Structure 1
């Protein structure tokens, strides 16, 4: 049978043989692409119990919209801060709902954190989605954009191109590959002292892209996965803090700083000078 097929193939014109081969390759490529898309679309997390605890808190509202999940602890007014938050790569956006709640708990000024749902759980596919969030909540007087890991990097790129629309940029276990040093943005970078995923050398080298007064806070005992509620992450180092305690530390540092940012809104574009360490922060 194999000899018969070989003779038939040799009699076919070259162009037709290539067409047959191409016809076999196209479904294979489609299968690989579909498999890759499914891998990212499934995502990691969320920790259902951690999300349920936020939903059960009577002081917090969790609103699911076409843009993602909004976590509020009060009305959005012109005196409060809104934070648009981009998730890390291949992490379900709802994995950051508990982190958002911890940010709100740390500040009576921050009223809204919107964790954006990304195509295939990849912020790189929709780096400007924050624009739609701001349009949905026009009453917020101060806006910050930020995110975790790849989400933080994409938030930085968005902020670099739209600095006039924001007052602040928040990086969680992330760094900027765009220069925002002269953007007028206040910048907070929160790092985990036990982070085994981030490229530490590149992060440190990229600090030159940040404003001179950028706040760099390193939290002892927090690893890369500690910024969300999605379980362990490959390549990460062990955390000495529990997942809940890690998120609380991240929320405390971020919420405190954003609260200071809201206070500074009384004088637009006035940067907040660091006077004392943020909760859990190692001072640089």
Structure 2
């Protein structure tokens, strides 16, 4: 029975993975402002020119292809000059990934200040790793871990049209964050707006374009990273 259960989990984790949309991903690969390194632990997107002092370890949502976030975070790299490490969770599920934050920050040793963040269930896992980071960023997500008594800088981004991590659910979990956490609701964004993998079952309908969303994420991350996070 144990073997059957393990096999079942392995099969389930590989079925229904939401793939990156080809065109946005191709655009990132062709962007000369972004250097891409594909490692077994994660995908590193770094500015092609200029040193990057700040990095973001980004944990994907459940059963979402890590490459699906490259296009959405491209402006964060190209415009904000932030190095982004998109992790490759074990079994496509962050909860099964027991690696510490240093397994991913080691992919960009030149970075001195690290934000850990994630989308949906990836953000829940990011909360568990936040004690080893300089700051936490939640993308359509919320903490199940109580970090309210810490002095960790926190940015929480929600989508007004999100049908999964709804603004109401995020508000309900607000007491688990520090009092000074920045809570931002992006008008027109759905749950799937935080990646480029197409529509998602149970989600709302976005009224913001992919380009507008990428620019908005870059603006919010830029303002957040401009603080003294270290």
Say whether the fold is shared (TM-score over 0.5). Answer: yes
In the alignment, the residues of structure 2 paired with residue 26 and residue 211 of structure 1 have an alpha-carbon distance, to the nearest angstrom, of 41
Residue 153 of structure 1, CA deviation: 0.6
Q: How does 1:157-236 map to 2 (within 5 A)?
A: 157-159=128-130, 163=131, 165-236=132-203
The aligned length equals 230
Change (3 A) 1:74 1:205: same
CA distance in 2, matches of 1:76, 1:170: 24
Give the structure with the larger helix fraction. 1
Tell me, in whole angstroms, the C-alpha distance in 1 between the residues paired with 2:84 and 2:4. 42
Q: How does 1:101-116 map to 2 (within 5 A)?
A: 101-108=74-81, 110=82, 112-116=83-87
Higher Rg: 1
CA distance in structure 1 between the aligned counterparts of 2:55 and 2:180, rounded to whole angstroms: 22
Cα deviation, residue 98, structure 1: 1.1
Tell me the residue number matched to 1:36: 12
Find out whether 1:88 has 2:53 as its counterpart: no
> Residue 53 of structure 1 aligns with which residue?
27
| 1:133 pairs with 2:104 | yes
User: Given that residues 93 and 115 in structure 1 are in contact (C-alpha distance below 8 angstroms), is that contact kept between their aligned partners in structure 2?
Assistant: yes
Asked if 1:121 corresponds to 2:96, the answer is no
Distance 1:199 1:72, change over 3 A: same
SS of alignment partner, residue 157 of structure 2: strand
Question: Is 1:143 paired with 2:118?
Answer: no
Displacement of 1:105 after TM fit? 3.5
* Cα deviation 1:79-125 (Å, max 9, x = unaligned): 710110000001001101112212124424x2x10000111211111
Aligned equivalents of 1:193 and 1:46: distance in 2?
23
Please give the alpha-carbon distance, in whole angstroms, between the structure 2 residues aligned to 1:116 and 1:76. 23
Q: TM-score, normalised by structure 2?
A: 0.90
Contact map agreement 1:172 1:191 (CA 8 A) in 2? yes
The answer to whether residue 44 in structure 2 is matched with residue 73 in structure 1 is: no
Does structure 2 retain, via aligned residues, the 8 Å contact 1:127–1:155?
A: no
Task: Specify every segment of 5 or more residues in structure 1 that has no aligned partner in the other structure, as ranges.
Answer: 1-24, 269-284
| Distance in 2 between residues matched to 1:33 and 1:229, nearest whole Å | 26
* Alpha-carbon contact 1:127-1:158 (below 8 Å) kept: no
Distance 1:207 1:238 in 2: 24
Is there any run of 5+ residues in structure 2 with no aligned partner, and where?
A: none
CA-based RMSD: 2.2
What TM-score does the superposition give when structure 1 sets the normalisation length? 0.74
Partner of 2:37: 63
Counterpart contact for 1:194–1:223, Cα < 8 Å: yes
Distance 1:118 1:188 in 2: 22
